[in-house]
Amino acid sequence: MTAARVKRGLTQAQLGEAAGLRQATVSAIESGDVRPRPETIKGLAEALGVSVEWLLGVPDAPERSK
């Protein structure tokens, strides 16, 4: 997730705002301290413009959903 966020030029605070999360929550997810709920993962994927599968690291998953 961090790579996708940085690639898009977003700070943790900006991603959090776009996904309806606090910056601290984004930080905790990126560091692995928090395991996000499915709806949170979906919101992050939408905010980043990537597929949920790609965000979760599914092999051969397309970066963007169709």
Query: What average pLDDT does range 2-7 have in this prediction?
Result: 92
Give per-residue pLDDT as tens, 6-44: 999 999 999 999 999 999 999 999 999 999 999 999 999
Domain residue limits, the chain: 2-55
pTM (global) more than 0.85 = yes
CATH code 1.10.260.40 for 2-55: yes
CA distances from 35 to 31, 39, 44, 60, 65 (A): 10, 12, 13, 23, 22
What pLDDT, on a 0 to 100 scale, did the predictor assign at position 20?
97
